[in-house]
Amino acid sequence: MEGLKHFPLDDKMDEEILFECPVCSEAVPHEIIKKRESKKHLKLTVRCLNCGHTHNIEKTVKLKDVKIIISRYGESEKKVVQFPTDEILEVGEVINIQGEDVEITSIETTKRVSSSKIQDIETLWAKSISIPKKVGISINDGKTTHSVNVLVPQDYVFDNESIYRIGNAFFRIKMIKTEKGTFKREIAGKIKRIYAENVKPFKKYKDLSEYYSNL
């Protein structure tokens, strides 16, 4: 089943998927040229995007409908997706659901588990990481603290050395809080909250104004 990992088994044909290439001898991106499937059988003709070699992949697949609840900014949507029964999923893993990258946040079998074979899974919870990340920043001016939100790309890097600007406010980051602790530098996707302090206007700064959100 190795080569089928995260193959979404829907009608999207234009995605790049990792398969073992017999020429490259490693898992590399392939494009699917042709797909024939029945409920239990899948035959793919694929082309290696690394070396151009075309080969066939045949699998006998048992599929299971799994309920997945995807959250985006606190709203959630329920979908039912078919997965191969012997695929293993784990919390923290990123999978593609109908073109949207989502990170698995919780897995329920008969109880909450951190990983499981699909065949035992009742419900998956996930958060979309295809959308920008909303990051809350608490800025202290010495007397009071006010909060602003920015919507930035998931891989936007914040650090405690830069001066940031939003509109007329200039600030420096004191602490970046994530699920795993506090950091001096982190990507937006992992950040729970940023704590910052106002500074005087500065010539060199990173402007976050365009990312400001009043959501």
Q: Binding residues for Zn ion, how many (CB under 5 A)?
A: 7
Shortest Å distance, C-beta 126 to Zn ion: 31
- Contacts of residue 38, Cβ cutoff 8 Å, sequence gap at least 6: none
Shortest Å distance, C-beta 45 to Zn ion: 14
Long-range contacts from 165-168, C-beta under 8 angstroms, 24+ separation: 165/205, 165/206, 165/207, 165/208, 165/209, 166/207, 166/208, 166/209, 166/212, 167/209, 167/212
Interface residue with Zn ion, options 10, 36, 43, 50 (CB under 5 A): 50
Which secondary structure element, helix H or strand E, spans residue 159, and what is its range? strand 157-159
Rounded Cα distance, 102 and 115, in Å: 16
Question: Closer to Zn ion at the Cβ: 13 or 23?
Answer: 23
Question: Closer to Zn ion at the Cβ: 21 or 166?
Answer: 21
Task: Give which of 75, 73, 67, 131 is closest to 99, Cα–Cα.
Answer: 131
Shortest Å distance, C-beta 20 to Zn ion: 9
Task: Give which of 25, 189, 204, 196 is closest to 105, Cα–Cα.
Answer: 189
Query: Restricting to residues 52-71, which ones interact with Zn ion according to CB under 5 A?
Result: 53
Shortest Å distance, C-beta 30 to Zn ion: 8
Shortest Å distance, C-beta 23 to Zn ion: 4
Site string for Zn ion, 10-39 (x = CB under 5 A): -----------x-xx---------------
Q: Mark the segment that binds Zn ion (CB under 5 A) among 44-52, 97-105, 124-132, 157-165.
A: 44-52
Rounded Cα distance, 126 and 36, in Å: 29
Q: Are 18 and 27 in contact (CB under 8 A)?
A: yes
48 forms part of the interface with Zn ion (CB under 5 A)? yes
Contact set with Zn ion (CB under 5 A):
21, 23-24, 48, 50-51, 53
